[in-house]
Amino acid sequence: MTAPSILLVDDGELDRVQSLLERLRVDWVRCVEPESGFPLERPRDVLVTSGPRAMRMPPLAGDGEPLWVCIYDQNFLPLHERLRDLGIHYLVSGELAPRPLELFLRQLLHGGQERRQVRRVPLDCELELEVGFERRKGLLLELSRESCVFATDTEVPAERRTIVRLPSELTGDDELDLPGHVLRTMGTPGSVERGVTTVFRFDSLDAVSMARIHRILAGQAPAVPVTPLRSEPGHEAIARGTGWLEAEEAASRAAPAAPSERRSAPRSRYTRCVDAVRWGGEREPHVVFARDLSLSGMCITTSEPPDPGSEVAVALYGAAREEPVLLSGEVVRVDGEQVGLRFGALGDAERRGLGRLVCAAPRVEALAAGGALHVAELISS
């Protein structure tokens, strides 16, 4: 049998996915309750399985490198590590609505130059729009680091100033306002089934907004129905465990440098205290203040700057009862009292923990001086 574009393997619980595949103009095959010893032809593009079947897959034959999508129930969430080791690229909630699931599968089918460097995460939640001085409701279908797709009953005029407001249920925090402009629209106003689908590109966003978007793309927000587990075949090698968050940072590094200095990762602005940092050769720690923090480094202010090239290991503390994030860094820049630290190689746990600090920006109040503090402790020097 010629390898299909999509192979669906389940135990009878994915009838709705078959109904969706019937609307796509691609060749697909569904195998229900396959025998464990009978090999199946590996699909060309996408392998879709149910959660239970992913743990009991029959052998696959062929040379294809399909993307593996696992439709899971809530009881599969603690099994991320095991499913990642099996080779699954994306976990998709069984509660995801058909329309965003269809959009997600369609973009996975694109290859070559049509392939997105960073995927849009499919969503299915209400959002609010500010169109000029008018407020409207919409349905958020997809989100990426630079754009989103939403559906509305009426068309959003491209010439109007527009702000997309993501709800707190999605961000896991406060609402997030994302100004931008309409790129294109599809559909018919007033349509009961889909209405008008709009592709909306964000204007230049600050570091905090970008970090909050990264958290959603990485599957770390509570209402996100898709969790990325592995890098896609052909993409730059990415450390396991953070999915889209890593891909976003890799895409930033690959972008051409601007004439002025350009950091490889977005930074959140801080005026937070980094407590008990000891430089190489010193016996006692002293207090410095962090000005910003990113996935690649941090900037601090100290009256006793260390020499460039000095090594230091710190423990960054987040929320109460949270284990500190242990990191090693090198002094790469000294400009008066400002010191730039670049973090060394990060493991999966360190990168996930640092990502939480950058996105969530935990606050500790300084009673003497007021304001927010970010506390760290030296481990070794």
In the chain, what are the domains? 1-95 (3.40.50.2300), 108-255 (2.40.10.220), 267-380 (2.40.10.220)
Q: pTM (2 decimals)? A: 0.55
- Residue 263's pLDDT is 44
Please give the backbone phi and psi of residue 299, each rounded to the nearest 5 degrees, phi first. -115, 130
* Longest distance between any two alpha carbons in the chain, whole Å: 74
Contact 93, 69 (CB under 8 A): no
Task: Return averaged pLDDT per consecutive 10 residues of the chain, 381 residues in all.
Answer: 89 93 90 84 94 90 90 74 88 87 86 56 89 92 90 90 91 88 79 74 85 79 79 53 43 40 44 43 50 76 74 67 72 79 81 76 44 49 49
Dihedral of CA atoms 148, 99, 55, 356 in degrees, nearest 10, equals 20
CA neighbours within 13 Å on the CB side: how many for 320?
Answer: 2
Distance CA(112)–CA(364), nearest Å, equals 48
189 residue type, one letter: P
DSSP state of 42: P
Contact 181, 173 (CB under 8 A): no
| Structure tokens that stand for 219 in this block | 């599957």
Distance CA(368)–CA(352), nearest Å, equals 32
- Print burial letters for 74-97: b (CB count within 10 Å at least 16), e (below 16): eebeebbeebbebebbbbbbbebe
Contact 49, 9 (CB under 8 A): yes
- Residue 159's pLDDT is 87
- Residue 370's pLDDT is 43
DSSP state of 95: T
Distance CA(381)–CA(364), nearest Å, equals 25
- Residue 148's pLDDT is 92
DSSP state of 307: P
- Print burial letters for 21-42: b (CB count within 10 Å at least 16), e (below 16): beeeeeebbbbeebeeeeebbb
Distance CA(151)–CA(137), nearest Å, equals 9
Q: Within 133-206, where are the H helices?
A: 168-171
Distance CA(141)–CA(230), nearest Å, equals 22
Find residue 315's DSSP bridge partners: 326, 377
Q: CA quadruple 329, 332, 333, 337: dihedral positive or negative?
A: positive
Closest by CA position to 372, among listed 289, 303, 263: 289
Find residue 360's DSSP bridge partners: none
- Print burial letters for 287-299: b (CB count within 10 Å at least 16), e (below 16): ebbbbbbbbbbbb
How many CB atoms neighbour CB 181 within 10 A? 14
Phi-psi region of 336 (alpha: psi -120 to 50; beta: other; left: phi over 0): left
Contact 24, 108 (CB under 8 A): no
Q: CA quadruple 150, 154, 156, 160: dihedral positive or negative?
A: negative
* Contacts (Cβ under 8 Å, ≥6 apart) of 190: 153, 154
Distance CA(43)–CA(64), nearest Å, equals 6
- Residue 17's pLDDT is 94
